[in-house]
Structure 1
Amino acid sequence: MVRTLYNLSDLRETRFGQPSPRHGLSLLWWFAHNCVQIDSNSRMTALYNPEYGAFGFDLFYNRERLLPYSNRPYYEVGNLNNPGSLPHYVTKKYTGYSDDSNKDRIIVSFNSRWNRFEKIYVTQHSDEVHFDQNHTYRISPKLLEDIQELNLKKFLRKTINNSYQISYQMHCTPCPSPAPSVKTESNQRQGSKSVKGVCAESCEVLFCIIIIIIIIIFLFMLFISFSKMKI
């Protein structure tokens, strides 16, 4: 049985669309703001007909019974291999490789007669072909209304699970740059050179003093010798 999500806390608890580079949360915010209008009776009117393939909507056949049987067709959106005209904030982290950046989807049950979404689901791939039954959820009209009241930044802040943020910070904190140690070694070498320079200058001064003393002694002795010879 597919669980229904009624509020932002329910959505945050599922960890749908997390962590980056997954695009599910941005995709869901885009859908709530651009594809559906909810009236006072919780009827979800489609602003775009998914049958026409706008934004990359494509028929979903539900062959593996991921979702309950319905006499209405299912359509999926969010495949970034076929992004249609999805906005940049949804597609910007797509790598083009078989990784988590193209993992998330929205699936809708569509009533073409009344131009309404009967049911809306979020899900994720378990591999390149299959979807994950254990991570498939129905989105309630109330949750969509809550999302419509928020801008994208606030919505992400309220739905990103803190455990992912902590894990991301622990694993992604930059390692100390080797530059300071290199700089320190350079400073040490410069300091060593300075000390050596001071020593060399001191030795030169001392050598000059010794030479001067020797010259003075030599002159003094020469003077005494000269004086004796004169006497």
Structure 2
Amino acid sequence: MFSILANFLVDGGIPISLVLGAIGLVVAILLIRSVVKQSVGTELMQKVAGAIQDGAKAYLNRQVRTISIISLGIALVLFLMSQAEKVHGSMPVGFLIGAIFSLAAGYIGMRIAVMANVRTTQAATEDEHKALNVAFNGGAVTGLLVVGLALLSVGIFYLVMGKISPNDPKAVVDSLVGLALGASLISVFARLGGGIYTKAADVGADLVGKIEQGLDEDDPRNPATIA
């Protein structure tokens, strides 16, 4: 029984990953449409949300520029290593694809999460269960994009490299290593940048609460602290 299951996973693993990856992306698109069509609330709520979205957009654009420069530099190093026959020539290509997919998942996910903020707030004025659904859908987009793009990129890259170099397993392995390196390295930079940005927003919220309203640090009456 175990051997049958193992053979099935080995033979059908790639098609399964492609199907599941495609399903993940389709569900992510449906969730994005579900979040976007929700009400954005009052004019004041839209004004505050607009300021938050502008700040998030500025951070994301800056992050994309910085990470792109770093990614191109690392890809160049991998290319030079491939010319010296230290690694296969597919590794820098895999690295760039992994980096692009990882960056795209983070960028789209954060944009949708920011858009879901004001819609969750508006939904909370109507029904707490509706607010929970909006918040959950907005957060689930990132996870589905990460998993979907990862499964699709690994499956497609494996098939392509298997066709290009059917008798060279090192080429397939190096390409997948490059893919994983690009995706994981970019996610680390994005996590570090996001942590710094979040802490800066936290400090700014505390300062505004103290100076303008005379509130204590992390006072629950400060909505920015709760956010």
**TM-score past 0.5 threshold:** no
Q: Which has the higher contact order (CA 8 A, sep 6+)?
A: 2
- Structure with bigger strand share is 1
Could you say which structure has the higher helix fraction?
A: 2
What TM-score range do you get, normalising by the shorter chain? Answer: under 0.3
Given the two structures, how large is their TM-score scaled by the length of structure 1?
Answer: 0.24
Q: Which has the larger radius of gyration?
A: 1
